[in-house]
């Protein structure tokens, strides 16, 4: 750990099982479950339901393990930020070494179980995802470059590919298309949040985009990524992966996403000091453009993946373009 | 000599909760491996 003294903001109590569960970042795990399950269903291969459930569990536990690795290493900077200072390690309820041990054990078990339940391609991709998040992003990228969440976003984007590989043993272009959607979604999602928490990131010395390049540049980049996301989000309809319901949802959702990004770009948020946010959603009105984009980005991503899942479960007509027919 | 962790009811309760969670996790792991074995042996 990097040796910065941790200021305990809350009274220390004995750690219960909920604290260990919190180390696994349950909200991130829920997103991983949805996206991995979508990849699994979109693969279109018959799979034993028990093995499918075990594969999803393994992918979720692997994501949780990498979350614990992240919390073990980042305790020093987590203690300096309001959003993260009540996490179990910076709050003093769990030792960083214990979080590290939990992360390593869960990661190893998750990869091993996925390998024996499905195949080595899926297990290898899960191992890569964990190492990429726990080592490449956490140890290297996060504290060194404002592109941290852009490159590191690959780790969060890979679960649908792992799910697809678990079901079929392959990783075709359509599976990578799901990865691309989450990869392009990550920067506007996190930068919208960091625009109204940049004070904390600056205090912790994390070079998030608003801290390193300024608010105006961040807002412009959010808009650029949002336009790219709206377009990438439409591609599954062209390759036959998504149907007409998906197309309608992606078109409307993408338009709203871009409209919110335009509103944020024009808001000037971050150019002058803004009142502090009490929480992610409990924010002053001036922060609304960033908060709304952050909240909508979550709805948008869940909606796209749930739409794909439902379409593949019930079967709906698709608009596959002949030129892209080989993507699946 | 008394164990301070046992003297503090909150710490005792927290430790018992952790132990139960570890036990359940181990049982779940055994069940998972058993189910995988059954499915694989039946050619699923």
What distance in Å separates the CA atoms of residue A73 and residue A103, rounded to the nearest whole number? 11
Residue A202: pLDDT above 70? yes
**Cross-strand pairs, A243:** A318
What distance in Å separates the CA atoms of residue A114 and residue A107, rounded to the nearest whole number? 11
Residue A4: pLDDT above 50? no
Q: Which residue has the tokens 């596959």?
A: A320
Task: Count interface pairs A-B at CB distance under 8 A.
Answer: 42
| A237 band by pLDDT with thresholds 50, 70 and 90 | very high
Please tell me if residue A50 touches chain B, with a CB cutoff of 8 Å.
Answer: yes
pLDDT value at position B44?
A: 60
CB contact under 8 A, A113 and B39: no
Three-state DSSP at A25 gives coil
| Token duo for residue A303 | 């909606």
| Token duo for residue B36 | 């995988």
CB contact under 8 A, A14 and B35: no
CB contact under 8 A, B14 and A14: yes
Is residue A83 within 8 Å of A114, Cβ to Cβ?
no
ipTM, two decimals: 0.83
User: Which has the closest alpha carbon to A181: A158, A213, A206?
Assistant: A158
User: What mean pLDDT value characterizes chain A?
Assistant: 91
Please tell me if residue A95 touches chain B, with a CB cutoff of 8 Å.
Answer: no
- The model scores a pTM over 0.95: no
Q: Which residue has the tokens 């300096």?
A: A80
Q: How many CB atoms lie within 10 A of CB B5?
A: 11
Furthest-apart CA pair in chain A: how many Å?
63
- pLDDT tens-digit series, residues A246-276: 999 999 999 999 999 999 999 999 887 665 5
**How does DSSP assign A258-320, residue by residue?**
HHHHHHHHHHTTTSS--PPPSSSSS--GGGHHHHHHHHHHHHHHHHHHHHHHHHHHH---B--
The C-alpha angle with vertex A227 and arms to A321 and A269, in degrees rounded to 5, equals 165
| A327 band by pLDDT with thresholds 50, 70 and 90 | low
CB contact under 8 A, B10 and A116: no
pLDDT value at position A270?
A: 87
Contacts 24+ apart (CB under 8 A), A210-213: A210/A270, A211/A146, A212/A146, A213/A146
CB contact under 8 A, A13 and B14: yes
Convert A208-226 into a string of H (helix), E (strand) and C (coil): CHHHHCCHHHHHHHHHHHH
Please tell me if residue B36 touches chain A, with a CB cutoff of 8 Å.
Answer: yes
Please tell me if residue A115 touches chain B, with a CB cutoff of 8 Å.
Answer: no
Is residue A33 within 8 Å of A110, Cβ to Cβ?
no
CB contact under 8 A, B36 and A13: no
A interface mutation test: which of B23, B26, B35 has the most A CBs within 10 A? B35
Three-state DSSP at A243 gives strand
What distance in Å separates the CA atoms of residue A254 and residue A248, rounded to the nearest whole number? 10
């Amino acid at each position: 750990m990097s040796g910065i003294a941790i200021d305990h903001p809350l009274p220390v109590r004995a750690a219960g099982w909920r604290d260990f569960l919190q180390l696994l970042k349950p909200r991130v795990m829920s997103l991983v479950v949805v996206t991995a399950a979508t990849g699994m269903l979109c693969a279109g291969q018959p799979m034993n339901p028990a093995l499918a459930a075990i594969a999803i569990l393994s992918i979720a536990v692997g994501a949780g393990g990498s979350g614990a690795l992240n919390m073990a290493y980042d305790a020093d900077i987590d203690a300096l930020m309001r959003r993260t200072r009540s996490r179990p390690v910076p709050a003093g309820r769990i030792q960083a070494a214990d979080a590290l041990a939990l992360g390593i054990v869960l990661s190893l078990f998750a990869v091993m179980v996925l390998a024996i339940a499905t195949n080595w391609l899926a297990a290898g991709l899960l191992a890569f995802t964990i190492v990429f998040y726990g080592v490449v992003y956490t140890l290297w990228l996060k504290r060194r470059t404002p592109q941290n969440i852009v490159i590191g976003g690959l780790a969060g984007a890979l679960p649908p590919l792992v799910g697809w590989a678990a079901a079929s043993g392959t990783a075709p272009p359509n599976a990578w298309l799901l990865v691309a959607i989450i990869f392009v979604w990550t920067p506007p999602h996190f930068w919208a949040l960091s625009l109204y928490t940049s004070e904390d990131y600056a205090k912790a010395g994390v070079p998030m985009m608003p801290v390193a390049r300024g608010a105006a540049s961040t807002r412009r980049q959010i808009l650029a990524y949002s336009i790219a996301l709206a377009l990438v989000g439409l591609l599954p309809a062209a390759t036959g992966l998504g149907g007409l319901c998906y197309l309608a949802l992606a078109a409307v959702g993408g338009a709203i996403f871009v409209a919110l990004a335009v509103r944020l770009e024009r808001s000037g948020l971050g150019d002058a000091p803004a009142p502090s946010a009490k929480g992610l959603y409990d924010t002053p009105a001036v922060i609304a453009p960033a908060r709304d984009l952050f909240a909508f980005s979550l709805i948008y991503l869940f909606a796209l993946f749930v739409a794909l899942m439902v379409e593949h479960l019930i079967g709906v007509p698709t608009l596959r373009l002949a030129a892209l027919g080989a993507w699946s | 000599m008394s164990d301070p962790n046992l003297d503090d009811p909150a710490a005792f309760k927290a430790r018992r909760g952790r132990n139960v969670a570890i036990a359940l996790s181990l049982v779940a792991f055994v069940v998972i491996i058993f189910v995988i074995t059954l499915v694989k042996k039946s050619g699923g």
